[in-house]
Amino acid sequence: MAGGYLFLLLVIILNVSSSFQTSNTVNPCCYFPCQHKGICVRYDPDDYECDCTRTGYYGKNCTIPELWTRIREFVRPSPSFTYYMLTHYKWVWDIINNSFIRDTIVRLVLTVRATLIPSPPTYNSAYSYLSWEAYSNVSYFTRVLPSVPDNCPTPMGTKGKLQLPDATLLVETFLKREKFIPDPQNTNLMFAFFAQHFTHQFFKTYGRMGRGFTKGLGHGVDLSHVYGDNLERQYALRLFKDGKLKHQIINGDMYPPTVVEAPIHMVYPENIPKDKRFAMGQEVFGLLPGLMMYATIWLREHNRVCDVLRKEHPVWDDEQLFQTARLILIGETIKIVVEDYVQHLSGYYLKLKFDPELLFSSQFQYRNRIAVEFNQLYHWHPLMPDQFNILGQLYNYSSFIYNTSMLTDYGVEALVESFTNQIAGKIGGGKNLHPRLVEIAVGVIEESRKLRLQSFNQYRKQFGLKAYTSFQDFTGETEMSSQLESLYGDIDALEFYPGMLLEKTHQNAIFGESMIEIGAPFSLKGLMGNPICSPEYWKPSTFGGETGFNIVKTASIEKLVCLNIKKCPFVAFHVPKAEESSISEGTKTTDEL
Segment 304-319 mean pLDDT: 97
What share of the chain in percent tops pLDDT 70?
Answer: 92
Residue 479 has pLDDT above 80, yes or no: yes
Name the pLDDT band for 15 (thresholds 50, 70, 90).
Answer: very low
Residue 19: predicted pLDDT:
34
Segment 173-185 mean pLDDT: 97
Give the pLDDT confidence of 112-133 residue by residue, as tens digits. Answer: 888 899 988 999 999 999 999 9
Residue 2: predicted pLDDT:
43
Rounded CA gap, 30 and 157, in Å?
A: 5
Residue 330 one-letter amino acid: I
Residue 462: predicted pLDDT:
96
Segment 149-178 mean pLDDT: 96
- Our answer to whether residue 235 is catalytic in this structure is no
Taking a C-beta distance cutoff of 8 angstroms, is the pair 236, 244 a contact? no
Segment 434-442 mean pLDDT: 96
Name the pLDDT band for 592 (thresholds 50, 70, 90).
Answer: low
Name the pLDDT band for 87 (thresholds 50, 70, 90).
Answer: very high
H or E segment and range at residue 390: strand 388-390
Residue 202 has pLDDT above 90, yes or no: no
Rounded CA gap, 75 and 69, in Å?
A: 10
Residue 530 has pLDDT above 50, yes or no: yes
Helices 289-312/189-199 angle, 10° precision: 70
Burial 376-413 (b: 16+ CB within 10 A, else e): bbbbbbbbbbeebebeeeeeebeebebbbebbbebbbb
Give the pLDDT confidence of 353-367 residue by residue, as tens digits. Answer: 999 999 998 878 888
Residue 585: predicted pLDDT:
47
Residue 207: predicted pLDDT:
61
Say what the pTM is.
Answer: 0.91
Segment 336-365 mean pLDDT: 92
DSSP state of 44: S
Cα dihedral across residues 96, 99, 104, 107: positive or negative: positive
Residue 582: predicted pLDDT:
54
Write down the catalytic residue from 57, 227, 366, 378.
378
Residue 365: predicted pLDDT:
80
Give the pLDDT confidence of 23-61 residue by residue, as tens digits. Answer: 468 999 999 999 999 999 999 888 999 999 999 999 999
Residue 336 has pLDDT above 50, yes or no: yes
Give the pLDDT confidence of 565-578 residue by residue, as tens digits. Answer: 999 999 999 999 87
Write down the catalytic residue from 31, 58, 135, 200.
200
Name the pLDDT band for 217 (thresholds 50, 70, 90).
Answer: low
Rounded CA gap, 112 and 186, in Å?
A: 28
Question: Using alpha carbons only, what angle is made at residue 145 by residues 118 and 44, rounded to the nearest 5 degrees?
Answer: 120
Lowest mean pLDDT across 218-232, 243-257, 325-339: 218-232
Taking a C-beta distance cutoff of 8 angstroms, is the pair 267, 284 a contact? yes
- Our answer to whether residue 410 is catalytic in this structure is no
